[in-house]
Structure formats: structure tokens, C-alpha cells
Amino acid sequence: MSNRWQHERKGEFYYNKAKEEGYRSRSSYKLKQINSKFKIFNHAKNVLDLGAAPGGWLQVASEEMMDEEGLILGVDLKEIKSIHIDNVDTIVGDVRDIEVQQEIIEAFFGKADVILSDMAPDVMGQWDVDQYRQIHLARIGLKLCDTLLKVDGWFIVKIFQGGEHIKFIKEMRDMFKSVKNFKPLASRSRSSERYLIAHHMKKDRKLPEEFRPKIDTDEEEDNEPIPGDQLFFEED
């Protein structure tokens, strides 16, 4: 990490603001601004936060939610230091693993009101590859929505603009009645990140193709004779 980059980061308004106000990351203000505009936490009881480390979004969710009987669950590959709030829990694991996805689903009593995804892969420096890997993580969040999210729930997901994001937006609209494209003020102006704000799942929703059940179109070979076949058998 270069000294110049560190200097620029420390000079940023939201970075300093997070330090002053006790938030673990500047991205806390992204979620605050999303909620200010869309009111995603109104009446929310259960929230799932994917890619939750270091815990800034968990802090915001716990402040906005008044129902202490609900669950705010954060999931990340990295361990998240406890924020010492009773209804906040965490899972360390790879959300791409089926076992981790099942652990997430089983953690909730009922369904989630809000699913948040701020997930991003480790950058390789190849934009097409990095962008595709990030959209794949976003699709995992969409898959969890199909199983875990309430019909009138909210899905907030980060994407990076590029060739694949256009296809993903269409996939989102196959799942939700409302999909808004939003960039919070707390996002860096030069960043290509955007957030999709989705609400109300469709009854006739369709998952992205990679998650749809495979249909075997190969017909089984039937060796039983069809009536009348004997008319075409040659005699020895």
C-alpha cells in the first residue's frame, strides 16, 4: 500500500468522519445514505449482511432496527470483531459454499426483511475478470434472496460497472418488481461501484441461469419393441 494512497485516504471526509463517530469503515455512510433515501430498515426485524467485515454495516443496521428480538447476521471470510450487541451474530465462511449458505438459512427463525451484499473479490488487476467475479458474488446474494428473503423485502447489492453488470441488472429485474440504480455520496467519485436497490420479489421470478435446475433432454433408450415392429423384422 503506497504512502500516497494512505495520505489520500486519511484526508477523505468520510474516512475521518467514521473515525470520529466510531464506525469501523467509511462504507457505513453508504448504507446510511441508502437507508435515508429508500427507508429499507422500516419495520425490519431480520437482516443478513454479506461481506460484512469489518462490521460497519452491522453497526448501522443495529442502530436503525428497533426490534431487539430479531437477528442481524454478518457473513465474511474474515472474522468480524464483536460489536457487543445481543441480536448481532456473525459467521466466518465462504458464501459460495453450499454448506455456508445452508448455515445462513438455518440461522434465521423465519425469513429476512433485508439482505445486504457489499461483497467484492480480491482484485487481480484484470478488469474483465475482477468484474465477472464480483458479479458472481452478487448472484450468490440473489440466490439467497430466492430462498430467504420475504416477498416484500429489500435486497441491496454492490456491483461494478462493466459488460457483465448490464446482464445482471436484467437478472435482477427478472426477480424483483422494483430495481433502482444508486450511487451514494460516500462512494468515491472515481469509483465504478454502484448499488442496486431491489424491492418486492415477483411471484413468477426467475433465478439467473446458472442456478436454475438442469433439465435432461436426453431421452432414455427404449429397447422394448413397439407393436407393429415385427412387420419390419427380416426373417433369418
Residues annotated as catalytic are: 158
- In whole angstroms, give the CA distance from residue 146 to residue 141: 9
Which residues are paired to 188 by β-bridges?
A: none
Residues contacting 230, CB < 8 A, separation 6+: none
C-alpha cell at 174: 427478472
- For cell 433432454, what's the residue? 217
**CB atoms near residue 87 (< 10 Å):** 17
Q: Which helix (H) or strand (E) holds 85?
A: none
CA contacts within 13 A on the Cβ side of 213 = 3
- In whole angstroms, give the CA distance from residue 159 to residue 119: 9
